[in-house]
Amino acid sequence: MAYRAGSTLLSTAIGILGGTFDPVHNGHLRLAIEVREALNLAEIRLVPAHLPNLRGAPRASAAQRLALLEVACTEPGLVVDDRELRRTGVSYSVDTLCDIRTELGATPLCFILGQDAFNNLPRWHRWRELLTFAHLVVATRPGYAAPDDPELAALVARTAVTEVATVLNRAAGHLFFQTIPRLPISATDLRRRVAQGRSIAHLTPPAVVEYIASHHLYHN
């Protein structure tokens, strides 16, 4: 299915980008924009985790990380989805995708991951079920190689496709690798820069820079 927005024919497919977003930065935003354009997706939902699995608690509160995302997502087609913040406990992507799948019916759903996150997939809760709810779209990221985990390599061999049309013709079940321009930006680096009193201008949108400064976030 497709619909027209301006002069562009868009699919109805939805992209999901989960993360801690502590804080959101241009690496996240470019990732969302590049994947949306490459796959012609109707929208990308950025989904902040309440309590991320496999890492420490975020530095900023859930409300602050949500506010940062809301001021950052000014680009058409990027929307913030706060469903994980409304759940208690650890945020598991498999629960989120199951929830969204129930809402969307047979609409194609693309769960977007950086290559680093993808290579770590076998450590995720019920990771084998992710592809029953969505496609996985893996964006290359600086410094990360192809997976060496045998089960992950087998998943690539079994489900990876190279045609966008194949992804958009099914609701879920494929892996798709998308090369995106490399932006060596991380939230860890932004937090470190703020703690050192250094500038984070041009690494994240001006509204995020302002929010961090006015709320005194990430100072040690």
Q: Where are the alpha helices (DSSP H) in 88-186?
A: 93-104, 115-119, 130-133, 150-159, 164-168
Choice between 164 and 183, CB closer to ligand ATP: 183
Q: Binding of ligand ATP at residue 23 (CB under 6 A)? A: no
Q: Binding of ligand ATP at residue 127 (CB under 6 A)? A: no
Both tokens of residue 19?
A: 């993360």
- The one-letter amino acid code at 26 reads N
User: Site for ligand ATP (CB under 6 A): which residue of 11, 13, 15, 20?
Assistant: 20
Q: Binding of ligand ATP at residue 141 (CB under 6 A)? A: yes
Distance CA 206, CA 108 (A): 33
Footprint (CB under 6 A) of ligand ATP, residues 87-116: 113-114, 116
User: Site for ligand ATP (CB under 6 A): which residue of 11, 14, 16, 19?
Assistant: 19
> In this structure, what DSSP letter does residue 69 have?
H
Shortest distance, position 185 Cβ to ligand ATP, whole Å: 4
Q: Binding of ligand ATP at residue 22 (CB under 6 A)? A: yes
Total number of residues that touch ligand ATP (CB under 6 A): 18
CA angle centred on 59, ends 90 and 85, rounded to 5°: 35
Shortest distance, position 91 Cβ to ligand ATP, whole Å: 12
Whether 28 and 46 have beta carbons less than 8 Å apart is answered as yes
Whether 134 and 174 have beta carbons less than 8 Å apart is answered as no
Residues that bind ligand ATP (CB under 6 A): 19-22, 27-28, 31, 113-114, 116-117, 139, 141, 183, 185-188
